[in-house]
């Protein structure tokens, strides 16, 4: 059936609708596009043509490919023209009543073999399908913006969706060069649910005055390996848009504390500090450019011998570029000038020093320490200036910047990554999707460098559990409760 999809109808000629038109047309489909505002649809068609022209000039596609796409997309005046469609994708504004009305109308126009889908990003597919005489026909086809570029498509299964359609949608997405994942219709589906802690923990840390926005952003991007820090990303998305998604997910999860929106973010919306679009959000944008920089530590101190464990752990790999005669192998710890370097485990450096008596430097987590441009550290009280300088000098020597944070449990990236892993794990535990799909979704929907569950395996599930349990103990907050999925891995 997926091979037989030759004519696609798209409803809504906005950002997503036109992106989906381009994807279908670039893959040998004829596309009909309908918008309630016909003149807007014609403008959108012209804009598509100009965008493609630029891509021809930049050498991304040929003139012939551009012409074929433009010619394959036709604006129609009425939904009645969708009679010939094999598949319809609805991409109108995010409003349940409007979407229901559209599908009721469509059901009386198209043949019973036509596949019906919605690109909704937050409305229950089950709720939209309830308007249909045959609710089993409807599924979600959730593209990401910009649709022609982003590889991921979440296929959303409503409670009554027929699995045959899900399989057809999967095949079609593959034919269109996309990476499909399947999710049950639940708040935020996969990506918008699992990504919540990326913003939520950042906002909470900022509110707790643990670090500045630029400090957190630098740790998360240059240190942990995310493409963009949470605050610059929220400024880009729009503080109001991000806040609205957080509120929806919280409400629809019946006020589960894990999804509690930030008071500060609400205040920023009231103050019209919405990010790039209002010229100021977490950062001021001078002519669209963010100028703030993080405060790095630097040291030229001479470092002598240091100890690295024999077996390569996630952290010790960072020092593997040193020649053998520059270091000494021993035990299971990294020790620099008498100070132990440990991966953060959700305890403070002070707590660890109090329990084992050793001066302690905790290192914040990274997807890949070899690639990290910057390393975030905290020091326990017994770490003196001599030790600190040598640790900083050593890390500078291997070409990485150093940041120092306040000694708070879980630091910055460790706390965020543990919460993201917990969320991914819990989505699988609650049957939203399977483990492979949650990893694919975060890699291709929001460009995470690694899947969260596969990273947790690399890090060790026990370590993830320790971080979360220590955080829950410190904050006394159900927000950090461990997903039973993680307990099953121990
Ligand atoms: N923008 C994103 O990043 C994004 C990403 C994924 C999914 N989505 C979802 O895609 C859908 C569309 O989002 P968008 O950003 O393209 O919105 P948009 O505002 O750019 O476009 C919506 C279009 O729908 C048209 N429209 C409104 N009512 C209509 C009706 N009754 N019949 C026909 N056309 C109608 C409007 O005229 C407008 O052109 C929403 O459900 C949204 O949640 C958006």
pLDDT at 101: 97
Q: Which of the four CATH numbers 3.40.640.10, 3.90.550.60, 3.40.50.1100, 1.10.1040.50 does domain 192-290+412-490 have?
A: 1.10.1040.50
pLDDT at 331: 58
**pLDDT class of 306 with cuts at 50, 70, 90:** confident
**Residues 423-464 pLDDT 10s:** 999 999 999 999 999 999 999 999 999 999 999 999 999 999
Please list, in sequence order, all residues whose beta carbon lies within 8 angstroms of the beta carbon of residue 442, skipping any fewer than 6 positions away: 190, 191, 194, 195, 420, 424, 448, 451, 452
pLDDT at 314: 83
Q: What is the mean pLDDT of residues 32-44?
A: 97
DSSP track, 424-468:
HHHHHHTTSS-HHHHHHHHHHHS--SS-HHHHHHHH-HHHHHHHH
- 288 vs 433, residue with greater confidence: 433
Annotated catalytic residue within 142, 165, 215, 463: 142
401 pLDDT above the threshold of 90: yes
Say whether 192 is catalytic. Answer: yes
274 pLDDT above the threshold of 70: yes
CATH architecture assigned to 2-185: 3-Layer(aba) Sandwich (3.40)
306-404 belongs to which CATH class?
A: alpha beta
Provide CATH 3.40.50.720 ranges for the chain.
2-185
Q: Which atom of ligand 1 is nearest to the CA of 145?
A: 3
326 pLDDT above the threshold of 70: no
Residues with CB under 6 A from ligand 1: 11-17, 35-37, 40, 91-94, 98, 102, 119-121, 143, 145
Residue whose Cα lies nearest atom 30 of ligand 1: it is 36
Q: What is the mean pLDDT of residues 368-380?
A: 96
- 397 vs 187, residue with greater confidence: 187
**pLDDT class of 310 with cuts at 50, 70, 90:** low
Distance 241 CA to ligand 1 centre (A): 14
Provide CATH 3.30.750.190 ranges for the chain.
306-404
User: Which secondary-structure segment (H or E) carries 67?
Assistant: helix 63-72
pLDDT at 442: 98
pLDDT at 483: 98
Provide CATH 1.10.1040.50 ranges for the chain.
192-290+412-490
pLDDT at 370: 92
pLDDT at 226: 98
Token output for 145: 């913006």
**Residues 112-131 pLDDT 10s:** 999 999 999 989 999 999 99
**Residues 15-31 pLDDT 10s:** 999 999 999 999 999 99
**pLDDT class of 297 with cuts at 50, 70, 90:** very high
360 pLDDT above the threshold of 70: yes
pLDDT at 288: 62
pLDDT at 332: 67
Please list, in sequence order, all residues whose beta carbon lies within 8 angstroms of the beta carbon of residue 385, skipping any fewer than 6 positions away: none
253 pLDDT above the threshold of 70: yes
pLDDT at 475: 96
User: Which of 9, 14, 80 is the best mutation target for the ligand 1 pocket, counting ligand atoms within 8 Å of the beta carbon and taking the most?
Assistant: 14
- Could you tell me how far CA 178 lies from the centroid of its own chain? 17
- 321 vs 453, residue with greater confidence: 453
pLDDT at 321: 67
pLDDT at 307: 77
pLDDT at 290: 67
User: Which of 81, 91, 138 is the best mutation target for the ligand 1 pocket, counting ligand atoms within 8 Å of the beta carbon and taking the most?
Assistant: 91
The closest alpha carbon to 281, from 349, 328, 220, 213, belongs to 213
Listed range (89-93, 287-291, 478-482) with the worst mean pLDDT? 287-291
Please list, in sequence order, all residues whose beta carbon lies within 8 angstroms of the beta carbon of residue 71, skipping any fewer than 6 positions away: none
Distance 35 CA to ligand 1 centre (A): 10
């Amino acid at each position: 059936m997926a091979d037989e999809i030759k004519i696609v109808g798209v409803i809504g000629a906005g950002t997503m609708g036109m992106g989906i038109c381009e994807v279908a047309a670039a893959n040998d489909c004829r596309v009909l596009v309908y918008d309630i505002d016909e003149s807007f649809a014609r403008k959108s068609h012209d804009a598509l043509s100009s965008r493609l022209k630029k891509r021809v000039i930049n050498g991304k596609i040929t003139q012939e490919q551009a012409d074929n796409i433009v010619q394959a997309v036709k604006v129609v005046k009425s939904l009645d023209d969708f009679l010939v469609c094999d598949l319809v994708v609805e991409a109108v504004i995010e409003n349940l009543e409007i979407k229901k009305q559209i599908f009721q109308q469509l059901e009386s126009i198209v043949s019973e073999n036509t596949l019906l889908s919605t690109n909704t990003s937050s409305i229950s597919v089950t709720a939209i399908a309830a308007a249909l005489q045959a609710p089993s026909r409807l599924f979600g086809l959730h593209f990401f913006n910009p649709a022609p570029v982003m590889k991921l498509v979440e296929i959303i299964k409503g409670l009554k969706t027929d699995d045959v359609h899900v399989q057809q949608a999967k095949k079609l997405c593959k034919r269109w060069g996309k990476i499909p994942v399947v999710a049950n219709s639940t708040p935020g589906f996969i990506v918008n649910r699992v990504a919540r802690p990326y913003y939520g923990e950042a906002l909470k840390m900022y509110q707790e005055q643990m670090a500045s926005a630029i400090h957190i952003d630098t740790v998360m991007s240059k240190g942990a390996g995310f493409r963009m820090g949470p605050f610059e990303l929220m400024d880009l998305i729009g503080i109001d848009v991000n806040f609205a998604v957080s509120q929806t997910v919280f409400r629809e999860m019946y006020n589960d504390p894990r999804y509690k929106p930030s008071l500060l973010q609400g205040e920023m919306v009231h103050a019209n500090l919405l990010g790039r679009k209002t010229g100021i959000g977490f950062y001021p944008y001078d002519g669209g450019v963010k100028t703030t920089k993080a405060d790095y530590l630097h040291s030229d101190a001479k470092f002598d011998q240091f100890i690295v464990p024999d077996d390569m752990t996630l952290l010790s790999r960072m020092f593997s570029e040193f020649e053998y005669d520059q270091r000494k192998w021993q035990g299971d710890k990294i020790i620099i000038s008498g100070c132990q370097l440990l991966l953060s485990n959700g305890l403070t450096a002070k707590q660890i020093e109090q329990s084992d008596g050793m001066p302690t430097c905790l290192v914040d987590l990274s997807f890949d320490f070899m690639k990290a441009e910057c390393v975030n550290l905290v020091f326990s009280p017994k770490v003196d200036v001599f030790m600190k300088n040598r640790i900083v000098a050593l890390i500078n020597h291997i070409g990485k910047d150093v940041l120092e944070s306040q000694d708070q449990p879980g630091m910055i990236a460790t706390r965020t990554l543990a919460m993201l892993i917990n969320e991914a794990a819990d989505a699988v535990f609650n049957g939203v999707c399977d483990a492979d799909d949650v990893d694919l979704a975060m890699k291709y929907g929001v460009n995470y460098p690694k899947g969260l569950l596969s990273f947790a395996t690399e890090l060790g599930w026990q370590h993830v559990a320790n971080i979360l349990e220590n955080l829950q103990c410190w904050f006394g907050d159900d927000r950090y409760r461990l997903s039973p999925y993680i307990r099953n891995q121990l």
